[in-house]
């Protein structure tokens, strides 16, 4: 059984349904919140996996954990998944939905890690450049600061990483020097 294929099918069905109801943005936000909580709280995962709880009880736990009312599309989807005992695959289905949402709406998430903070004008120029290169409508830049980079930056877009940090360059030089045979005079 291909879990990825199943997850993508469920995600596509939810995306189509939510879009037809005009709830796609809200459902994507709920999916992101669910995924964050699912990854962070083992108790939440255990509760969803419990065979003792009814579907209604699990929906109530999800509703309370996410802090309120769920959109009809998202709640209906959760009920369907839980009724068919596939809640253990929600951790694959919902990130797939978020990917579909970003693709359909032209959203790109970029992570920029620098040794020192960068100013807003640089981030705006970076967003414009990435938007033009990727043909995206919206570029979300997540800023991180990591002094261990010494200088330079790490730039991640989707699953691609450009590491132009001074720390990485120094490590590469050190590895090359360490592998050289010693010369005798």
Question: What confidence tens digit (pLDDT) does each residue in 28-51 have?
Answer: 999 999 999 999 999 999 999 999
pLDDT at residue 53 in the model: 95
Question: Mean per-residue pLDDT for 22-28?
Answer: 98
From residue 84, how far is each of 63, 98, 183 by CA, in Å?
19, 22, 69
Question: Mean per-residue pLDDT for 145-169?
Answer: 92
SS3 state of residue 4:
helix
Q: What angle do CA 6, 10, 13 make, to 5 degrees?
A: 140
Buried b (16+ CB within 10 A) or exposed e, 143-159: eeeeeebeebbbbbbee
Could you identify the residue written with the tokens 């809640």?
87
From the list 89, 72, 92, the residue with the least C-alpha distance to 81 is: 89
- Count of helix runs (H) and strand runs (E) in the chain: 8, 4
Which structure tokens are listed for 156? 């991640």
| pLDDT tier for residue 158 given thresholds of 50, 70 and 90 | confident
pLDDT at residue 3 in the model: 83
The C-alpha atoms of residue 35 and residue 47 are separated, in whole angstroms, by 15
Q: Which helix (H) or strand (E) holds 8?
A: helix 3-20
Question: Mean per-residue pLDDT for 66-92?
Answer: 95
pLDDT at residue 180 in the model: 60
pLDDT at residue 125 in the model: 95
A 10 A CB-CB count for 125 gives: 10
Are 108 and 77 a contacting pair, CB within 8 Å?
Answer: no
Are 37 and 70 a contacting pair, CB within 8 Å?
Answer: no
| pLDDT tier for residue 178 given thresholds of 50, 70 and 90 | confident
**DSSP state letter for 69:** P
Question: Mean per-residue pLDDT for 149-173?
Answer: 91
Looking at the predicted structure, is the pLDDT value of residue 184 above 80?
Answer: no
Mean pLDDT (the chain, rounded): 93
pLDDT at residue 185 in the model: 55
């Amino acid at each position: 059984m291909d879990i990825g294929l199943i997850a993508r099918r469920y995600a596509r069905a939810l995306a189509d349904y939510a879009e037809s109801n005009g709830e796609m943005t809200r459902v994507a936000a709920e999916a992101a919140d669910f995924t964050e909580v699912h990854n962070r709280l083992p108790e939440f995962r255990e509760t969803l996996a419990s065979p003792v709880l009814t579907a209604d009880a699990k929906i109530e736990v999800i509703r309370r954990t996410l802090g309120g009312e769920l959109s009809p599309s998202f709640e209906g989807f959760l009920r369907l998944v839980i009724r068919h005992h596939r809640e253990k695959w929600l951790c694959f289905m919902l990130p797939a939905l978020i990917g579909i949402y970003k693709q359909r709406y032209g959203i790109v998430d970029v992570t920029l890690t620098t040794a020192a903070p960068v100013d807003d004008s640089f981030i705006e120029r970076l967003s414009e450049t990435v938007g033009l290169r990727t043909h995206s409508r919206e570029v979300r830049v997540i800023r991180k600061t990591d002094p261990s980079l010494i200088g330079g930056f790490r730039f991640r877009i989707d699953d691609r990483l450009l590491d132009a940090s001074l720390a990485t360059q120094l490590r590469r030089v050190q590895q090359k020097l360490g592998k050289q045979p010693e010369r005798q005079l």
